[in-house]
Chains A and B, each alone.
Chain A
């Protein structure tokens, strides 16, 4: 490809190279802190809440997310904010307030480990294997997608982008484990704001402000809820019931409360209150991310009339095209660095989560039980190496499928909604039995697959609506099966469930802590802001 979207100059490369040097340097500096397995896999549970909160948020704010949400903003308008508001905030608060006491206080090291304690070994194995597999595949597919974007933007070959970013991630995560990964996620959080914030700013000033922009867009672009009365009233083809039950409840709670990629960040916090505050503080920032990703999409929809039309650039190029319009050399380097950083930290997040589950829930559980701390750290480093190699391999396989990314996203969400059903009953219903949990989880996932492959096309109004409803019904099936199987299998004794089940566990209270540090009060503030935002942009 000889024609690229962006013209890069030497200065841009200088800025990018400084970033590479910097992250590898961080890896070397935190390497000396890695003495035990907990240091390497869980940062020694010693990180302050503001850092884990930003890492929690950034692990999910990968470059694909940034480009994809800008694309969705350009295609559907403000409807996209559902993914940031109702689809995320209630679930994040629930994780912080109700689930953290079980995750953190039991000293589990991974999500599958909780399943083992609460239910049985079989449930853990199912979750560990499916999570490890999906994570490493997702990481490879995003590796490929990113390489593709950089090829279009700056003309790097696929192999160059894939190898450089894979090697950099391998070095810094391999050296510093989760701490390295978390540090880079926080660094990326600030970089992406400072690197991309000028785009909505310049765009809105060019278009004559918020109202000026909305006047030049279809009416539905400016609303979050107004057009969700009946399916098909809006471009996305989603109705309010599907948004609430499917996205807000099944998908949102499924992802944010059970996906080890995000949960791992909370486990690195230095105490229970910091762990509870991690998702709560993150939700403050989550609510304003749309300014950075969705607003540029709206701007692009006005300024680039042939965007997404036959013959025009694809929606995924919404953000890069605005960069081309507004960013001179220098600033362009900063913008590209922000995107590279968010992509690499997304990949590092996947790799650290994969490594931890592999080492603790598969290797230590089934292959080698009583080895030294040193042995598990070096196993972790090998897992990073092998995990990244598999990712690279997947990246090249993904090359031969054009739409596999959408499918992966769909498949991934199929695992989380049932898992959330299992967790909800596991935590709040002490009568749920080990085999009830196991069969509920397995049949829930299988039913999601069955719905995906066997329901005739056109059952749902749109792909988004399909995802929402499939997640909801998979969740319902998990809950029903768990309850039915539990009713004729033997439950665990109360003593065994202490600390694992609501009602048998002491609830955390912070009577002597100042109000702005208490998770419950902060969560209420977030909820009020959430309601106000939804009314404001109705």
Chain B
């Protein structure tokens, strides 16, 4: 099993990307009526996607072992 799969930054990124895609697509396709005039599912899905991608990028960098 790769080290990556137990890197928490990667796992958070993965979950947020999955959720972001689901919400954004659902917002685009179904766009259920809501309190606001804008497409809240789509917009928030994109936000999640961006956050998720940031975590994925961060997980590409080695986490430094801190000096004591």
Chain A residues engaging chain B, CB cutoff 8 angstroms = 11, 14-15, 18-19, 22, 26, 29-30, 32-33, 48-49, 51, 183, 186-187, 190, 194, 198, 202, 270-274, 325-331, 334, 510, 512-513, 517
* Chain A residues whose CB sits within 8 angstroms of the CB of B68 once the complex forms: 271-273, 510
Per DSSP, are chain A's interface residues mostly helix, strand or loop, or mixed?
helix
19 A-B pairs, CB-CB below 8 angstroms?
A18-B15, A18-B18, A22-B15, A183-B11, A186-B12, A190-B51, A273-B68, A274-B66, A326-B35, A327-B34, A328-B33, A328-B34, A330-B22, A330-B26, A330-B27, A330-B32, A331-B41, A334-B19, A334-B23
Report B5-46 residues with CB < 8 Å from chain A CB: 5-6, 8, 11-12, 15-16, 18-19, 22-23, 26-27, 30, 32-36, 40-41, 44
Residue of B nearest to A183 (CB): B8
Chain B residues engaging chain A, CB cutoff 8 angstroms = 1, 5-6, 8, 11-12, 15-16, 18-19, 22-23, 26-27, 30, 32-36, 40-41, 44, 47-48, 51, 63, 65-68
* Chain A residues whose CB sits within 8 angstroms of the CB of B65 once the complex forms: 270
* Chain B residues whose CB sits within 8 angstroms of the CB of A517 once the complex forms: 66
The answer to whether A51 and B33 touch across the interface, beta carbons within 8 angstroms, is no
11 additional A-B residue pairs with CB within 8 Å, beyond A194-B47, A326-B35, A513-B67: A11-B22, A29-B5, A186-B12, A273-B66, A328-B33, A328-B41, A329-B32, A330-B27, A331-B40, A334-B23, A510-B68
- Shortest CB-to-CB span from B5 to chain A, Å, is 5
With known contacts A186-B12, A187-B11, A198–B19 Cβ distance under 8 A = no
Q: Roughly how many angstroms separate A30 CA and B11 CA in the complex, as a whole number?
A: 12
With known contacts A15-B19, A187-B15, A330-B32, A48–B27 Cβ distance under 8 A = no
Contact of A29 among B6, B15, B30, B33 (CB under 8 A): B6
The answer to whether A331 and B15 touch across the interface, beta carbons within 8 angstroms, is no
The answer to whether A48 and B40 touch across the interface, beta carbons within 8 angstroms, is no
The answer to whether B66 and A202 touch across the interface, beta carbons within 8 angstroms, is no
Residue of A nearest to B24 (CB): A330
The answer to whether B18 and A271 touch across the interface, beta carbons within 8 angstroms, is no
Contact of A271 among B6, B8, B66 (CB under 8 A): B66
Q: Roughly how many angstroms separate A187 CA and B51 CA in the complex, as a whole number?
A: 13
The answer to whether A190 and B16 touch across the interface, beta carbons within 8 angstroms, is yes
